[in-house]
């Protein structure tokens, strides 16, 4: 039995919302129980606590079963994703249908679970996959595209089949990031268009899949998008550069938590226009870092300079 101190610490860690502390105390209790010879109980505790994962740093490992799948247990909240109301509602709907899938099954219906996300770099496609996994407490399996696609077509097909076997047998969120890599590398293609065939068989696998897992495919390749592709998915989400309102929300989310007196001006929003979400987040982090290290408050002037610096990276690239 855990000591009174351990229980007190456990409750304190919960009240403080300190996952790391909570984990440490549970592991202490497990060690204590193991010493008393209660091996099964200790093991059970450890198993449970493993599910908690690491905040942010997620546990990342290659599953022994399938080295093409990178397993992580992300810890995010839907509110962290700054997107239009339309997209946010669509994500809510995916979550809601998954949570109520048994009710839907009883009416012969299936929850939407094959999702295509298309959009510019740095607009939150990967983040969305992490959030969906986290919100549904499902493991996230990111398919390692580079390990999947080899110059041997037969091998690629066999690997694809293995992945879909995993999708069937281990419920999770399966994320095919930049899935068009399957069809995009023309140098791997030959005159009979085998790469294209692999892409088609990937789409067929998706179509035939009737598992409980959620499949998310992401691409920033507009070229690929056609009706034939859309047909395979239950939902298609289009991501684009942040609107003025989204820029404002990004600033608020990132900066006001650091300095609650910081005022977001129209000029700042204007200066961020044209940058993607990831770049704006990066600029905010840079501004905060510089404020911490310089022992100076956050200023519009400093932030504006960093935003321009970011934009200049582009003009340099285009020149
Ligand atoms: N819509 C968003 N809301 C909040 N933060 C965002 C959003 N989009 C991007 N970010 C921030 O930028 C980081 C990188 O974004 P993410 O990897 O999801 O972009 P992506 O669309 O997958 O880009 P790529 O096409 O390059 O893979 C995120 O971890 C997050 O910090
Ligand atoms: Mg991505």
Higher-pLDDT residue of 81, 26 = 81
* Best residue among 81, 88, 115, 127 to mutate for probing ligand 1, ranked by most atoms within 8 Å of CB: 127
242 in contact with ligand 1, CB cutoff 6 A: no
Looking at residue 61, what is its pLDDT?
A: 45
pLDDT band at 306 (very low <50, low <70, confident <90, very high): very high
Higher-pLDDT residue of 232, 82 = 82
How far is Cα 285 from Cα 252, in angstroms, rounded to an integer?
Answer: 13
pLDDT band at 3 (very low <50, low <70, confident <90, very high): confident
Looking at residue 159, what is its pLDDT?
A: 85
pLDDT band at 187 (very low <50, low <70, confident <90, very high): low
Average pLDDT over every residue of 112-122? 95
Looking at residue 91, what is its pLDDT?
A: 98
Looking at residue 271, what is its pLDDT?
A: 94
Distance from Cα 128 to the centre of ligand 2, integer Å: 9
pLDDT band at 157 (very low <50, low <70, confident <90, very high): confident
- Ligand 1 atom closest to the Cα of residue 250 is 4
Looking at residue 158, what is its pLDDT?
A: 84
* 124 phi-psi bin (left φ>0, alpha ψ -120 to 50, beta other): left
Residue nearest to atom 13 of ligand 1 (CA): 278
Average pLDDT over every residue of 239-246? 97
pLDDT band at 34 (very low <50, low <70, confident <90, very high): confident
Looking at residue 127, what is its pLDDT?
A: 97
Average pLDDT over every residue of 249-262? 92
195 in contact with ligand 1, CB cutoff 6 A: no
How far is Cα 79 from Cα 119, in angstroms, rounded to an integer?
Answer: 20
How far is Cα 302 from Cα 67, in angstroms, rounded to an integer?
Answer: 45
Looking at residue 71, what is its pLDDT?
A: 92
Looking at residue 58, what is its pLDDT?
A: 40
221 in contact with ligand 1, CB cutoff 6 A: no
The arrangement of strands across the sheet holding 114-119 comes to 61-62, 69-72, 140-143, 173-176, 214-219, 114-119, 235-239
Distance from Cα 218 to the centre of ligand 2, integer Å: 7
Distance from Cα 210 to the centre of ligand 2, integer Å: 26
CA triple 190-195-200, angle to 5 deg = 140
- Ligand 1 atom closest to the Cα of residue 81 is 3
Does pLDDT of 6 surpass 90?
Answer: no
Least confident of 36-40, 52-56, 62-66, 267-271: 52-56
- By CB atoms closer than 10 A (0-12, 13-18, 19+), residue 300 is middle
Does pLDDT of 276 surpass 70?
Answer: yes
Contacts 24+ apart (CB under 8 A), 195-201: 195/153, 197/153, 198/149, 198/153, 198/156, 198/157, 198/160, 201/157, 201/160
Average pLDDT over every residue of 209-228? 85
Average pLDDT over every residue of 10-29? 81
| φ and ψ at residue 54, rounded to 5 degrees | -105, 135
Distance from Cα 123 to the centre of ligand 1, integer Å: 5
Does pLDDT of 209 surpass 90?
Answer: yes
211 in contact with ligand 1, CB cutoff 6 A: no
pLDDT band at 60 (very low <50, low <70, confident <90, very high): very low
Higher-pLDDT residue of 297, 17 = 297
Does pLDDT of 207 surpass 60?
Answer: yes
Whether the CB-CB separation of 135 and 88 falls below 8 Å is answered with no
pLDDT band at 133 (very low <50, low <70, confident <90, very high): very high
Q: What is the 3-state secondary structure (H, E, C) of the chain?
A: CCCHHHHHHHHHHHHCCCHHHHHHHHHHHHHHHHHCCCHHHHHHHHHHHHCCCCCCCCCCEECCCCCCEEEECCCCCHHHCCCCHHHHHHHHHHHHHHHCHHHHHHCCCCCCCEEEEEECCCCCHHHHHHHHHHHCCCCEEEECHHHHCCCCHHHHHHHHHHHHHHHHHCCCEEEECCCCHHHHCHHHCCCCCHHHHHHHHHHHHHHHCCCCCEEEEEECCHHHCCHHHHCCCCEEEEECCCCHHHHHHHHHHHHHCCCCCCCCCHHHHHHHCCCCHHHHHHHHHHHHHHHHHHCCCCCHHHHHHHHHHHHHHHHHHHC
Mean pLDDT, rounded, of the chain: 86
Looking at residue 56, what is its pLDDT?
A: 44
From the centroid of its chain, how far is CA 278?
A: 13
30 in contact with ligand 1, CB cutoff 6 A: no
Average pLDDT over every residue of 96-101? 98
Average pLDDT over every residue of 2-17? 83
Looking at residue 218, what is its pLDDT?
A: 93
Looking at residue 154, what is its pLDDT?
A: 76
Tokens of 185: 């590398």
CB atoms within 10 A of CB 272: 27
Distance from Cα 125 to the centre of ligand 1, integer Å: 6
């Amino acid at each position: 039995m855990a000591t009174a101190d351990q229980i007190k610490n456990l409750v304190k860690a919960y009240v403080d919302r300190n996952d790391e502390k909570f984990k440490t105390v549970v592991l202490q209790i497990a060690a204590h129980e193991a010493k008393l010879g209660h091996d099964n109980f200790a093991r059970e505790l450890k198993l449970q606590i493993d599910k908690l994962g690491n905040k942010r740093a997620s546990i990342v490992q290659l599953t022994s079963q399938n080295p093409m799948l990178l397993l992580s247990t992300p810890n995010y909240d839907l509110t962290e994703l700054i997107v239009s109301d339309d997209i946010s509602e669509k994500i809510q709907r995916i979550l809601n249908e998954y949570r109520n899938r048994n009710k839907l099954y009883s009416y012969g219906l299936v929850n939407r679970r094959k999702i295509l996300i298309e959009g510019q770099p740095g607009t939150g496609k990967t983040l969305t996959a992490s959030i969906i996994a986290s919100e549904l407490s499902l493991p996230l399996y990111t398919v390692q595209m580079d390990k999947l696609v080899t110059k041997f077509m037969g091998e690629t097909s066999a690997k694809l089949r293995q992945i879909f076997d995993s999708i069937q047998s281990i419920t999770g969120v399966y994320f095919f990031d930049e899935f068009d890599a399957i069809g995009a590398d023309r140098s791997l293609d030959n005159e009979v268009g085998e790469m294209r065939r692999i892409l088609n068989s990937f789409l067929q696998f998706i179509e035939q899949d009737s598992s409980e897992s959620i499949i998310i495919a992401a691409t920033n390749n507009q070229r690929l998008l056609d009706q034939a592709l859309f047909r395979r998915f239950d939902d298609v989400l289009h991501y684009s550069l942040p609107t003025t309102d989204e820029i404002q929300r990004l600033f608020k989310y990132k900066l006001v938590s650091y300095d609650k007196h910081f005022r977001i001006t129209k000029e700042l929003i204007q200066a961020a226009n044209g940058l993607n979400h990831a770049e704006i987040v990066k600029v905010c982090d840079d501004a905060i870092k510089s404020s911490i290290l310089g022992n100076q408050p956050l200023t519009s002037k400093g932030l504006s300079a960093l935003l321009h610096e970011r934009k200049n990276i582009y003009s340099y690239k285009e020149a």
